[in-house]
Amino acid sequence: MKMQKKYKAVYIDDDKVLLKVMTAYAQHTKCVDLLACYASPIEGIMAIDNLKPDILFLDVQMKEIDAFATIEALDHDPIIIIVSSHWESEEELIQAGASCFLTKPLKGPDQIDEAVEKALAFDASASAKRNTKKPAIKLDSNQEVLPELFRSDSSKEQFEQSESWADFIVKFEREHPTFFENLNSDFKSLTPSQLRICAYAKIGFPIKNIATNIDLTLASLESSLSEIKEKLSIEPDDDLREFLSIYN
């Protein structure tokens, strides 16, 4: 990828953990200068008209207003990159003004750079036309459709949900060699047991499997997860796996 220019960007998403993840990744991108992040789309709209970013990273479903209403309310006209785990109609989002997509959870700076490159190419093409009419959208997680732009590859290592900790840790450290060192450096109060839970959470193990593997009841594991989130300074309802995605 040959990109020298830094494009000014703003990110709007009511997922506060993902805002932290984007902020961390943006510091290591080749082409993104992240000016600000907003959990409130209303605040974001007001700020964008002043900041005039080149690019807007935008969630689809938000508590105040959705992506369509956000785009429609903008006076400034940035390139729109949708950040979402699923949506029903990619075409409707394109018609509303989106140029490219990033799938959650975010996977690193390179993914963000690639999205910007694709968005710039799309925006420059003759097919990139704005339609300011707000279309209806119905998201259904049971009919999830991901665009081909960023369909994630499966893990190189296959983690068995019932394998021993010794076998798991060998595979895990092969894929994430600095995970424990960096996480423990930032949060020294985490116990070895809590670090182990974090490793399982990062891979996406189901709660029941984590409880079985570390010989805890579900109630005890839920209590441990609450304590971990408190030590990480994230909200009880925030996604732990999303937060841990910045540690590799």
Domain boundaries 7-150, corresponding CATH code: 3.40.50.2300
CATH code of 165-244, in short, is 1.10.10
* Section 143-167 average pLDDT: 50
Of 248, 187, 238, 242, residue with least CA distance to 21: 242
Among the ranges given (14-18, 164-168, 193-197), the one the predictor scored with the smallest mean pLDDT: 164-168
Render pLDDT for 178-203 as a digit per residue (tens, 0 to 9): 999 999 899 999 998 899 999 999 98
Report for 146-150, 169-173, 211-215, 223-227: range of highest mean pLDDT: 223-227
Stretch 139-149: mean pLDDT = 33
Band (pLDDT 50/70/90 cuts) for residue 158 is low
Q: What are the pLDDT digits (tens) for 236-248?
A: 888 898 899 888 8
- What is the C-alpha separation between 106 and 184, in angstroms, rounded? 22
51 pLDDT higher than 70: yes
Cα angle 82, 198, 83 (rounded to 5 degrees) comes to 0
Tokens linked to 151: 């369909």
Distance (Å, whole) CA 151 – CA 212: 31
| pLDDT at residue 121, rounded to an integer | 84
Provide, rounded to the nearest whole percent, the portion of the chain with pLDDT above 70.
81
Count of beta carbons in the 10 Å neighbourhood of residue 55 = 27
* Distance (Å, whole) CA 80 – CA 8: 12
What pLDDT does 123 receive? 72
> Which amino acid would we find at residue 152?
S
Angle at 188 between CA 187 and CA 192, to 5 degrees: 100
Domain ranges of the chain: 7-150, 165-244
Q: Residue 101: which pLDDT band, with cuts at 50, 70 and 90? A: confident
pLDDT band (50, 70, 90) for residue 90: low
Per the prediction, the chain carries an average pLDDT of 80
Q: What pLDDT, on a 0 to 100 scale, did the predictor assign at position 37?
A: 96
In whole angstroms, give the CA distance from residue 129 to residue 97: 7
pLDDT of res. 135: 43
Q: Is the pLDDT score of 144 beyond 60?
A: no
For 124-135, the pLDDT digits (tens) are 653 434 444 444
pTM above 0.85, yes or no: no
